[in-house]
């Protein structure tokens, strides 16, 4: 049996929290193996689901901290689909050189309908056994960690690393990729404000996030938007129209609405509503949909450091035999949360931030 941790238990990874202290990280003490389980010699790492800026930094950290422990590290290509197909290769320190600043994932990612079935998962376990792999690190979001939990429930040692631009994952206040995606959205908002002010226009910008409004809400607050529409709160197009109208009455040269892609009135539906009711509302909206632009580009410093710390924590968890958990960040502490408490759940949005946005947009 794997050692069990309480929900969101703080863990030490031997990594300092500040950049200035990073020169003192290595060498790391080697924890004693868990009684009853042979010491780890081989691990595998995969990325799954939607790519997030910082995934490569996480892969790099898993490989180099694993090699430091004299482990053989396998990189699985194309997520769980590659695991089932035995599509993997040994990675060394030089194989992950130069990737820390690259977006996307060097291992690739893919959805796998086959893995959702028990037969597919057993095939994956057979592949791991055939390679002599002792444990697995899964870097990804909610769907990826559901897969990790399924393997853990079948008895295989797994540790998840919180990585999704949606920031909807239970067990981490912030996840890998969020900071980069938010800064891309913010840059677009700032640019649109410039042209909107020049022409005295109203603009609508849609950001990603699936059914979570975190990116939209935080981008709206940071970008000074006049209104925001998110899935967690019912959107009233008439109320949005009133907010834009009063913004012009207060003398603002522009008006900007930030919309989450999962909102009931997303960019397409909201723009259509304003077009259909243009004569009554008095104006229409110019629409910009960021889409997958938010996933691309180089990760920010914050995402590189977060990915590095979380991935190093994952190998520490494996070394201690404390598996079946997700490593995340809460109150600037790296914590471990049981995968069973993470899988299939969505982190609620802070309602206080919604109230703050309503105050600031006036």
Q: Which residues are catalytic?
A: 166
Cβ of 232: how many Cβ atoms within 10 Å? Answer: 18
CA angle 9, 10, 14 (to 5 degrees): 140
- Extended beta strands in the chain, E state: 9-10, 42-47, 72-76, 88-91, 135-140, 158-162, 202-207, 227-229, 255-260, 286-289, 325-330, 333-338
Q: Would you give the DSSP letter of residue 113?
A: H
Cα 62 to Cα 313: distance, rounded to the nearest angstrom = 9
Are 158 and 147 in contact by the 8 Å Cβ rule? The answer is no
The whole-angstrom separation of Cα 225 and Cα 362 is 10
Residues near 271 by beta carbon (within 8 Å), at least 6 away in sequence: 204, 284, 285, 287
């Amino acid at each position: 049996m794997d050692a069990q941790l309480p929900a969101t238990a703080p863990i030490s990874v031997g990594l300092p929290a500040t950049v200035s202290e990073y020169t003192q990280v290595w060498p790391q003490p080697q924890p004693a193996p868990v009684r009853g389980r042979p010491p780890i010699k081989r691990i595998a790492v995969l990325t799954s689901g939607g790519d997030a800026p910082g995934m490569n930094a996480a892969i790099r950290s898993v490989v180099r901290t694993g090699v430091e422990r004299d482990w053989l590290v396998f990189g699985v290509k194309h997520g769980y689909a590659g695991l089932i197909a035995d599509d993997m290769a040994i990675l060394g320190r030089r194989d992950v050189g130069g990737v820390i600043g690259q977006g996307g994932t060097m291992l690739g990612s893919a959805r796998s309908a086959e893995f959702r079935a028990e037969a597919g998962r057993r095939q994956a376990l057979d592949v791991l056994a055939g390679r002599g792999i002792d444990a697995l690190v899964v870097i990804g979001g909610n769907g990826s960690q559901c897969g990790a939990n399924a393997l853990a429930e079948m008895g295989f040692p797994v540790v998840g690393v919180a990585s999704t631009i949606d920031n909807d994952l239970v067990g981490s206040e912030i996840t890998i990729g969020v900071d980069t995606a938010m800064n891309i959205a913010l840059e677009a908002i700032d640019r649109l404000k410039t042209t909107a002010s020049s022409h005295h226009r109203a603009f609508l910008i849609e950001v990603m996030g699936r059914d979570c409004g975190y990116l939209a809400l935080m981008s709206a607050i940071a970008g000074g938007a006049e209104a925001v529409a998110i899935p967690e709160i019912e959107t009233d197009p008439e109320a949005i129209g009133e907010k834009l109208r009063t913004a012009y009455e207060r003398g603002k040269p522009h008006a900007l609405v930030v919309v989450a892609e999962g909102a009931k009135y997303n960019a397409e539906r909201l723009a259509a509503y304003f077009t259909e009711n243009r004569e009554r509302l008095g104006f229409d909206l110019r629409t910009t949909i960021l889409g997958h632009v938010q996933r691309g580009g180089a990760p920010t410093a914050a995402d590189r450091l977060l990915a590095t710390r979380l991935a190093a924590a994952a190998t520490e968890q494996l070394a201690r035999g404390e598996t079946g958990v997700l490593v995340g960040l809460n109150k600037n502490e790296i914590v471990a949360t049981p995968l069973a408490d993470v899988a299939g759940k969505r982190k609620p949005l802070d309602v206080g931030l919604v109230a703050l946005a309503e105050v600031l947009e006036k």
